[in-house]
Amino acid sequence: MKRVLIVEDQPDIRKLIHMTLEFEAYEIHEAADGVSGLRMAQALQPDLMLLDVMMPGELDGLQVCQRVKHDPALAHVKVVLLTARGQARDREAGGKAGADEYLVKPFSPLQLIDTIEKLTAEA
């Protein structure tokens, strides 16, 4: 079973993503901010992280993504950035941080599942 970590500061969005994924064969974990998300990633070794870009606190999604991709123990983790920012420069920043995929909110549940299946099939 693939392990997915949702890192999103908005409880409603976290719940929607969780509900979307619970009908698939995923072990789902959640974190509400970048610091706890990074800590959970280190402990859980997920197959994939769904990472909000704009989060309050010490680390935003881009910083978490960068740290995950630069950590040899976590470099295998696929990262999907979730954001309301869809400009070319925002996508570029996501790519520089090491994101495997970039979904602009609002995205459809089907788009999310397709993206996750594509990335986890590569793993």
CATH of residue 66: 3.40.50.2300
Contacts of range 26-33, beta carbons closer than 8 Å, 24 or more positions apart: 26/1, 26/2, 26/116, 27/1, 27/2, 27/3, 28/4, 29/3, 29/4, 29/5, 30/5, 30/6, 31/5, 31/6, 31/7, 32/7, 32/8, 33/7, 33/9, 33/57, 33/58, 33/59
| Torsional class of 57: left (φ above 0), alpha (ψ -120 to 50), beta (otherwise) | left
pLDDT tens sequence for the chain (123 residues)? 999 999 999 999 999 999 999 988 899 999 999 999 999 999 999 999 999 999 989 999 999 999 999 999 999 999 999 998 888 899 999 999 999 999 999 999 999 999 999 999 865
Q: What is the pLDDT of residue 79?
A: 98
Domain residues for the domain of 6 are 2-122
**Residue 58 DSSP label:** S
Q: Copy the structure tokens of residue 122.
A: 């590569």
pTM of the model: 0.95
Domain count, the chain: 1
pLDDT, residue 123, reads: 53
Task: Report DSSP state, residue 56.
Answer: S
